[in-house]
Amino acid sequence: MSCSAIVGLGNPGSHYVQTRHNLGFWLLDQLADTQQVVFQEKSKFSAEITKLSYAEKSFMLVKPLTFMNESGKFLKMLLSKNNCDVTDTILVHDEITLPVGRMKISRNNGDGGHNGVKSIFSNIGSDLTRLRLGIGQKKNPAMDLADYVLSKFTTEETQLLDQQKDNFLNALKSLMSEGVDRAMNRFNQTFPNTI
**Residue 121 CB contacts under 8 Å (≥ 6 apart), including other chains:** 72, 111
pLDDT at 114: 93
> What is the C-alpha separation between 4 and 87, in angstroms, rounded?
9
Count: domains in the chain: 1
End-to-end CA distance of the chain: 37
Contact 2, 83 (CB under 8 A): yes
> What is the C-alpha separation between 104 and 126, in angstroms, rounded?
16
pLDDT tens digits for 121-175? 999 999 999 999 999 998 888 889 999 999 999 999 999 999 999 999 999 999 9
> What is the C-alpha separation between 180 and 90, in angstroms, rounded?
9
Where in the sequence is the domain holding 178, given as residue range(s)?
4-190
Residue 113 maps to a domain = yes
Q: Which of 115, 109, 105, 106 is nearest to 21 (CA)?
A: 115
Residue 66 maps to a domain = yes
Q: Which of 62, 59, 43 is nearest to 51 (CA)?
A: 59
Active-site choice (15, 21, 93, 114): 21
Exposed/middle/buried for 70, CB within 10 Å: 0-12, 13-18, 19+? middle
Q: Assess whether pLDDT exceeds 60 at residue 120.
A: yes
Length of the chain: 195
Contact 78, 50 (CB under 8 A): no
Residue 77 maps to a domain = yes
Residue 195 maps to a domain = no
pLDDT at 1: 63
Residue 91 maps to a domain = yes
| Least confident among 1-5, 21-25, 26-30, 88-92 | 1-5
Record the pTM.
Answer: 0.94
The reply to whether 21 belongs to the active site is: yes
pLDDT tens digits for 56-109? 999 999 999 998 999 999 999 999 999 999 999 999 999 999 999 999 999 988
Evaluated on CA atoms 13, 150, 39, 112, the torsion sign reads: negative
Residue 98 maps to a domain = yes
Residue 117 maps to a domain = yes
Residue 86 maps to a domain = yes
> DSSP readout, 106-153?
EES---TT-HHHHHHHHHH-S-SEEEEEE----S-TTS-HHHHHTSBP
Q: What is the CATH number of the domain that holds 52?
A: 3.40.50.1470
pLDDT tens digits for 160-191? 999 999 999 999 999 999 999 999 999 996 55
